[in-house]
Amino acid sequence: MAKRALITGITGQDGSYLAEYLLDLGYDVFGMVRRSSTENLERIDHIKNDIEFMQADLLDQASLDKAMDTSRPDEIYNLAAQSFVPTSWSQPVLTAEFTGLGVTRILESMRNFAPEAKFYQASSSEMYGKVREVPQNELTPFHPRSPYAVAKAYGHHITVNYRESYGLFAASGILFNHESPRRGREFVTRKITDGVARIKLGMAEKLALGTLDAQRDWGYAGDYVRAMHLMLQHDQPDDFVVATGQTHSVRNFLEVAFNHVGLNYEDYVVQDPRYMRPAEVDQLIGDNSKARQILGWEPTVSFEQLVTMMVDSDLQLLGG
C-alpha cells in the first residue's frame, strides 16, 4: 500500500518541491491549504490533480484535527509558517501563533489522531542568530535575533519535548537558507535575481536593498526536501543540520547574478534604510557532517549554479 504524507505549507516553496518528490516516490500526498478568496496554487499547478487538498489553518485546532483524522498520515511534514523575518517585527504575535504555537497544535493533533506517524518540523538556522560558534551544528546554543527566530526556537523545543514526553517520532530539521526559482520575491535572493532580469530587459533601473554584508549558507531547495524525507526514514527521530557548509555575502550573490548577464552590480544597487533590520544575523554557516554521515545526504547544486539558475529562470519568466 502506498505511504500517506500530510504536508502543511504545500503552497510554499518547500511544499511544492517536497510534494513533487513524494509523488515521484509513489506516496499519496495530502496537502493542507488555508482558505483564501483567490486560488494560491501557482507553485503546484502542474501536480495539483495528484494531491488531495484539505482546508485547515495553523490557528484552528478543529481544522487541524479534521485534516489529521481524514488523511491518517504515515508521515507529517510541518512546513507551514509565517516565514518572512521582517514581517515578524510588524506582526510579532501572529508570527508566534503561526510559527510557534502552530507546531504544538499540529503535534496535539498527531498525538490524538496519528500517534504512530512520523513528524518533521521545519526548524531554521535563524535560531542561531548572534552565533555562539562557527560553524553551527546540532549542539550549538541558540541566540535568536527576531520574533520569527524566537518562534522557531519554540517550535524546535516543543518538537523535542513531544519526542521525549510522549515517545512520538518527531524530527527537527535545522535548515539553513535554501532558494530556488520558486522562492518568494520578497526574500533577498529572488529579489536580486528578479531585479537583475528586470534591469537586463530594460524594465527597471535600480535595485534597492538593505545590508550587503550579511552572509548566509545558501543551498538549493530541491536538495533540502530530500533531507526532510531522509530524516523520516531514519530508524529514530533526531535533529539534523542541513546546510552546504559554505557562506557567501549578499554582495557575493549580487556579483555572480549581475556578472551572469554582463552587468556590474555597483551601477544599479542602492541601499535603502527601509530594508535594514532592527537586529541582524550577520553570518550563518552550517556544519552538515551529521546529515552526511547518518542520512547519507549531500547537496548537489553549487552557489554559482544556484544563482545562475535563478537569474535564467527570472529572465525566462519575464520574456527575455
138: its cell numbers: 546540532
Radius of gyration of the chain (CA): 19
What does the binding site for ligand G4F look like in residue numbers (CB under 6 A)? 83, 85, 124-126, 176-177, 186-189, 191, 209-211, 214, 216, 250, 275, 277, 280-281, 284
Binds 209, which of ligand NAP, ligand G4F, none (CB < 5 to 8 A, cut-off by type)?
Answer: ligand G4F
Contact of 239 with 163, CB cutoff 8 Å? no
Q: Does 34 bind ligand NAP (CB under 6 A)?
A: yes
**Which range, of 74-82, 135-143, 246-254, 302-310, touches ligand NAP by CB under 6 A?**
74-82
126 is catalytic: yes
| Whole-number Å distance between alpha carbons of 207 and 254 | 10
Q: Does 215 bind ligand NAP (CB under 6 A)?
A: no
Of 148, 220, 224, 265, which residue is the catalytic one? 148
Q: Closer to ligand NAP at the Cβ: 14 or 74?
A: 14
| Whole-number Å distance between alpha carbons of 197 and 271 | 19
> Cis link prior to 237 (omega < 30° from 0)?
no
Q: Does 48 bind ligand NAP (CB under 6 A)?
A: no
Q: Does 19 bind ligand NAP (CB under 6 A)?
A: no
* Residue 201 CB, nearest approach to ligand NAP (Å): 25
Phi, psi of 35, deg, nearest 5:
-65, 135
Binds 80, which of ligand G4F, ligand NAP, none (CB < 5 to 8 A, cut-off by type)?
Answer: ligand NAP
CA dihedral 138, 141, 144, 149 (to 10 degrees): 30
120 is catalytic: no
Strands (E) across the chain are located at 4-8, 28-33, 51-55, 75-78, 118-124, 169-175, 178-179, 207-209, 215-216, 219-220, 239-242, 248-249, 269-271
Binds 59, which of ligand NAP, ligand G4F, none (CB < 5 to 8 A, cut-off by type)?
Answer: ligand NAP
| Whole-number Å distance between alpha carbons of 68 and 32 | 10
Q: Closer to ligand G4F at the Cβ: 188 or 228?
A: 188
148 is catalytic: yes
Q: Closer to ligand NAP at the Cβ: 149 or 207?
A: 149
109: its cell numbers: 493533533
Q: Closer to ligand NAP at the Cβ: 115 or 184?
A: 184
Neighbour tally for 261: CB within 10 Å:
16
Q: Does 47 bind ligand NAP (CB under 6 A)?
A: no
What residue ranges bind ligand NAP (CB under 6 A)? 8-9, 11-15, 34, 36, 40, 57-59, 79-83, 98, 122, 124, 175, 177-178, 184
Catalytic sites, residue numbers: 124, 126, 148
